Amino acid sequence: MTAYDAVPGLVETKEAYGETTLVVDPARLLEACTYLRDEQGFAFLSDITPADYLGWGSSGVAGYIGTRDGRDINVPGTQGLARLPQPKPKRFSVSYHLLAHERPPRRVRLQVWVDDGEELDSVVPVWPTADWHEREAWDMMGIRFRGHPNLVRILMPEDWEGHPLRKDYPVGGEPVRFSGEE
Partner 1 sequence: MALARKLPLISDRPLARAGLNSERVLWPDKGPGVFEREVEKLEDALGLTTVEKAVAWAQAGSMWPDTFGLACCAMEMISIVGSHHDIARFGMERFSSSPRQADLLIVSGRVVHKMAAPLRQVYDQMLEPKWVIAMGACASSGGMFNNYTTLQGVDKIVPVDIHVPGCPPRPEALIEGIIRLHEKIKAGVPPAYQIRGVAE
Partner 2 sequence: MATVERPPVVWRGTPPYEGSRIPTPIPTVLQVDPSEHELEDVLTVNFGPNHPSTHGVLRLIVDLDGEHVAGIAAVVGYLHTGFEKTMEQKTWWKCMTYPERIDYVSYLNNGLVFVLAVEKLLGIEVPRKATWMRMCMAEINRLHSHLIWLGTSALEIGAISMLWYAFREREKTVELSELVGGTRMHTRYFQAGGLAEDVPPGFFPVCRDFCRQMRQGIDDYDTILTSNKIWLERTEGIGLLSADDAIALGQSGPVARASGIDWDLRRDQPYLAYDEVDFVVPVYRGGDVYDRYRVHMDEMRQSVRIIEQCLDRLEEMEGEPWIADDRKVVLPPRHELHTSMESLIHHFKIVTEGYRVPEGEVYVTIESPRGELGCYVVSDGGPRPWRVKFRAPSFVALEATATCMRDAAVADLIAIVGSLDGVMGEVDR
Dihedrals phi, psi of 180, to nearest 5 degrees: -75, -30
Q: Which does 134 bind (CB under 5 to 8 A by kind): partner 1, partner 2, none?
A: none
Rounded to a whole number of angstroms, the distance between the first and last alpha carbons of the chain is 64
Residue 107: left if φ>0, alpha if ψ -120 to 50, beta else—which one? beta
Number of residues that bind partner 1 (CB under 8 A): 10
Report the C-alpha gap between 155 and 119 in whole angstroms: 21
> Toward partner 2, which CB reaches closer, 73 or 152?
152
E strands in 1-160? 10-16, 19-24, 44-52, 92-100, 106-114, 119-121, 144-146
Q: Which is nearer to partner 2, 89 or 149 (CB)?
A: 149
64 counts as binding partner 1 under rule CB under 8 A: no
Residue from 17, 176, 178, 179 binding partner 1 (CB under 8 A): 176
29 binds, among partner 2, partner 1, none (CB under 5 to 8 A by kind): none
Q: Which does 174 bind (CB under 5 to 8 A by kind): partner 1, partner 2, none?
A: partner 1
- Is 173 a residue that touches partner 1 (CB under 8 A)? yes
Residue 47 phi, psi (nearest 5): -165, 150
104 binds, among partner 1, partner 2, none (CB under 5 to 8 A by kind): partner 2
